[in-house]
Amino acid sequence: MTEDNFVDYVSLNLRSGNGGRGSSHLRREKFVAKGGPDGGDGGNGGDIIFRGDANIWTLYTFKFKKHFKAGHGGDGGRNKRTGKKGKDIIIKVPLGTTIIEKKSDKLIAEITENNKEIVLLRGGLGGRGNCYFKSPTNRTPRYSQKGISGEEMIITLELKILADVGLVGFPNAGKSTLLASITSAKPKVGDYEFTTLKPNLGIVEYKDFKTFVVADIPGIIEGASSGKGLGHFFLRHVERNSILLFLISAEHDIHNRFLILRDEMLKFNPELLDKKFIVVISKIDLIEVSKRSLFLDKVNKDFNSISVLALSSVINLGLDTLKDKLWKVLNSSQIE
C-alpha cells in the first residue's frame, strides 16, 4: 500500500430514505359500489448501514465519494398493498474505524469485527393508509398519513489501524527501513525527518507459513500528545496495536528517548502503558564492532529488567532474532 492511498480521516454526509405515503384509495368494483377503504401503508425508507470488512485497509474510497443517500419508501396502493421499502445503503469500512458525529464531536460507534453491522440512520416510517383508520364511527376515512422523513447527519470517520505490532519512534529512527526489511512492503525511505506521514502496513512471513502484521507509525516527537508534529493524528494509530515496538537509533541516548516516547503516550492515553512492548536499538552498525558489547551493557544497565534488542536493517543483523521475539510475545500472556 502506498502512502498516497492511505486515508485515515474523512467526513461524510449521510441521509436515510423518507417513508412512503399511505394510500387513500376506496375500493370500487363491479357489483361492489361501496367497498370501503383499502389503501395500503407506505414503505419504510432505506437505512444507512456500516459494515466492518477485514479486506479493506484504508478509507481511500471515501476520498472521492462523500455523500450517501438511501432510497425512499414506495407509496401504498389499493387492495391494501404496502409500498416497497427503500433501498438500504451499506457502507463498508476497515476494521478499527470510529464513527463520530461531526457537530457534537460525539463518538457513535467503533467497528472492530469483520462483518459486524451498525445501523447508523434508520429510514423514515411509511405513512398509514386509510384502511388503518377505519372504525365503527368512521367507516369510510378518506385520509392517510404522509411518510416520515429520513434522518440526516454529517459524520467523521477515523481509522485507527489494527495491527499486531506497531513501530513507534522518533522521526528518522529507521522504522520504514525495518518494515521494508522484514516484510514485502515498500514504504518511502529517506534520511530526513518525517519521511513517513501516513502509516504503512506490512505482513511478516514467519516460520511454518505463520504471519503477523506490522504497522510503521509516523515519527513521534516530544510534544506529540499536545498535537505537535501532527501528534494526535499519529498517536491514535498506536491504540489498536497488540504490541508496541519502540525503535530508537543507536545515535542517541536510548533510555532518555524511550522515556520521552512513553511520556507522550501517557499524556495522550494512559491505557497505552498497559500494552506489551519491546525496546529495539536500530542502526547498531553505526557502532564499531569492538565497542558494541560495552555499548549494549550500558543500555541494558539503564533499562534494568527490560531486555533490549539491537539490530541493523542495512546489514540484516538481528532481524531473525526480532521476528522470534515478536512471535513469542504475540503468543504469550506477558513478556519474560
DSSP codes of every residue in 145-175 = PPPPP--EEEEEEEE----SEEEE-STTSSH
Of all residues in the chain, what percent carry a pLDDT higher than 70? 86
pLDDT higher at 229 or 252? 252
| pLDDT higher than 70, residue 5 | no
Residue at 70: amino acid letter: A
* pLDDT at 227 > cutoff 70: no
The three-state secondary structure class of 312 is: strand
Residue 242 · residue 327 · CB < 8 Å: no
- Residue 145 and residue 150: Cα distance in Å, rounded? 15
Q: Is the separation of the CB atoms in 203 and 213 below 8 Å?
A: yes
Phi, psi (5° rounding) for residue 276?
-70, 145
Cα–Cα dist 80/37, whole Å: 9
d(CA 261, CA 272): 11
Q: Which of 177-186, 187-196, 298-307 has the lowest mean pLDDT?
A: 187-196
CA distance to 12, 17, 291, 329, 331, per residue, from 306 (Å): 45, 57, 21, 14, 19
Q: Is the pLDDT higher at 199 or at 175?
A: 175
pLDDT of residue 195: 43
Question: What pLDDT is stored for residue 191 in this prediction?
Answer: 46
Confidence band of 224 (pLDDT split at 50, 70, 90)? very low
Tens digit of each residue's pLDDT (9 = 90 or more) over 28-47: 777 766 778 999 999 999 99
pLDDT of 197 above 70: no
154 versus 215: the higher-pLDDT residue is: 154
Local structure of residue 61 (DSSP, 8 states):
G
**6 has a pLDDT exceeding 80:** no
Q: Are 123 and 150 in contact (CB under 8 A)?
A: yes
Domains of the chain by start residue, with CATH? 3-159 (2.70.210.12), 165-330 (3.40.50.300)
Helix (H) or strand (E) holding 107: strand 106-111
Q: Residue 233 — very low, low, confident or very high, per pLDDT cuts 50/70/90?
A: low
Instruction: Determine contact, residues 12/63, Cβ cutoff 8 Å.
Output: no
Condensed to tens digits (0 to 9), the pLDDT of residues 83-103 reads 999 999 999 998 889 999 999
* Per-residue exposure over 295-309, b if at least 16 CB sit within 10 Å of its own CB, e if not: bbeebeeeeeeeebb
